[in-house]
Chain A
């Protein structure tokens, strides 16, 4: 497979459970990198803590496995100091939006050319199935034995409101869209958010009686639809997939380069 060269065999076997959606995301992300023929020496992957964050070790890029919630903060320093590098931040939902929520909205606002991938399985998998700010209400989790009463974030709305200039959503079932949107995001000259719904059969599916991985993938097929589709008009409960925003706005590193020019020319 062409994407083998992007993986570090030394790191395998990976830690993900059988049926986890994260492997699909890794596979299709690397296809995007391969299709764009990106130079591995110019690729940096920065992650935080959680199941999703282990992805940074598996890829043969410059990789930085940081602290819970802080991937975007580290990534901001890397990109700002060396703007020629392509920076990807794979994050979990709790990682990106609970402990890392403040960094997330400010990264959206700054519009630095970084690609954030939120692997949203609506649960803290690594620590044993606690609910996350993406679980939503009525969910059983180890910290919600009587079901959650918390409302959830909508990642795309939050990203849009915070100023991200590329925002897309898809699922682990729609693997071709993963490659497509990540490709678009990597090429987008600004802050990109790609939300990918990813099944966690071990903690989310099992506790909420959603079946095994294939069953959960089927739900992604049934419960989602393209943005603006007729199906959505008939059933507002459906989750929309697609590109929510793709627009050009001043990119932070470019703006800072301008500022340096201005200062140096007095």
Chain B
């Protein structure tokens, strides 16, 4: 098969991949550093008969994609931290009503307006805990354009498989950097479509009654089954309820359908972990720096390895524990005040061996920064 190589920004890669995955509806609101996603969507979607909407804010952007998902479309919105904050209430709605959709957060420095044109990875916890109430969530990330393409497609696939919103955590650096990407032919990466009910017209369809495999077949708004969708706790017909048994069942379903499939959702790459004394754990743009350090140290014969996480939520605790079992120490490389590092500490047997190499001044974390922390850990000073 002939692949097409493009030299484009990460934001454009994300659009290409979303279209590859079958997206035909996008709504968004301009915000740096994600705006190229909306701009490219506005250009591309009409060409394939898809729809692009520029809404009045981020709240209405996520609301409208949920509406379009209910009519049977694959949908996405893209934003950055401040807009992602505004979307949280509606993200919770999508969790509760089990609406497949993809939300891209091209992270920038925060809190507040923060650093619009500089990279950050400060929204890892916001992706997990930004909305109120208990729930599970899927969040994916990528460090390079080829993986970003795959992870974007995976985000759509997982949204359909688990009937859930999926968050794609990008960052200013991967979003704006240009590097080569091979755009796969149709069919090279499997696409999971909407699972629709086979219940015939006139027979009671239960939109919220999971099948034995846990999946919930959908029926498009405008189709033959008319049902209710609500953000309230609801029964198998989608009707609001305060019945304790139904509530108990629903919240456990919402958690279990994701947490119990964590091993299927987990995505990662590993470099030189087999004999690594020092394990670096990183993700997104920071993993590029981490890999640079690991490669250069390996050339000098030092036993460094890298575990690059591509799925951050549900947190792959078992994977981290297993990969770090023989590490003398573990260094988490991330661009925030320490977010994934806490999850790693919870996951491993000896949390006191887990260290953080971070950078939060708006500059991209450098190999020198990481090497400096490694010197400190070895008691050599900087």
Contact = CB atoms under 8 A, between A and B. Distances in A.
A–B direct touch in complex (beta carbons closer than 8 A) = yes
B102 to A, nearest CB: 14
Contacts of A37: none
A251 to B, nearest CB: 14
Contacts of B53: 76-77, 80
A26 to B, nearest CB: 15
A233 B46 CA distance: 52
A82 interface: yes
Interface string A74-113: 1111111110110000000000000000110010000000
Interface in B45-84: 46-47, 49, 51, 53, 55-57, 59-60, 63-73, 75
Interface centre among A80, A103, A256 (most CB of B within 10 A): A80
A232 interface: no
B55 A65 contact: no
Q: How large is the interface on A (under 10, 10 to 19, 20 to 34, 35 or more residues)?
A: 35 or more
Contact of B63 (A62, A65, A73): A73
A117 interface: no
Nearest to A79: B67
A61 B226 contact: yes
Contacts of A75: 67
A41 B63 contact: no
B166 to A, nearest CB: 18
Contacts of B71: 78, 81-82, 85
B320 to A, nearest CB: 36
Contacts of A67: 63, 89-90, 93, 231
B25 A77 contact: yes
A264 to B, nearest CB: 7
Contacts of A103: 56, 59-60
B47 A263 contact: yes
A35 interface: no
B239 A77 contact: no
A256 B51 CA distance: 8
Contact of A65 (B47, B60, B72, B230): B230
Contacts of B222: 41-42, 44, 62, 82, 84-85
Contacts of A63: 226-229
B381 interface: no
Contacts of B70: 62, 64, 78
A79 B68 CA distance: 8
A31 interface: no
Nearest to A252: B53
Main secondary structure of the interface of A (DSSP, over half): helix
Nearest to A103: B60
B221 A73 contact: no
Interface string B189-229: 00000000000000000000000000000000111101111
A46 B60 CA distance: 14
Contact of B226 (A62, A65, A66, A73): A62
B181 interface: no
A81 B68 contact: yes
B364 interface: no
Contact of A264 (B46, B64, B93): B46
Nearest to B43: A263
B67 A76 contact: yes
Contacts of A102: 56-57, 60
Contact of A73 (B60, B227, B232): B60
Contact of B60 (A42, A106, A256, A263): A106
A56 interface: yes
A246 interface: no
Interface in A22-69: 40-42, 44, 46, 56-57, 60-67
A210 interface: no
Interface of A: 8, 10-11, 40-42, 44, 46, 56-57, 60-67, 70, 72-82, 84-85, 102-103, 106, 256, 259-260, 263-264
Interface of B: 25, 27, 46-47, 49, 51, 53, 55-57, 59-60, 63-73, 75, 89-90, 93, 221-224, 226-232, 237, 239-240
10 nearest A-B residue pairs (beta carbon): A77-B67, A77-B64, A73-B63, A81-B68, A73-B60, A78-B67, A65-B230, A263-B46, A106-B56, A82-B71
18 contacts: A41-B224, A60-B226, A62-B222, A64-B70, A66-B93, A66-B231, A67-B90, A70-B60, A76-B63, A77-B27, A77-B64, A77-B65, A77-B75, A81-B25, A82-B68, A85-B222, A260-B49, A264-B49
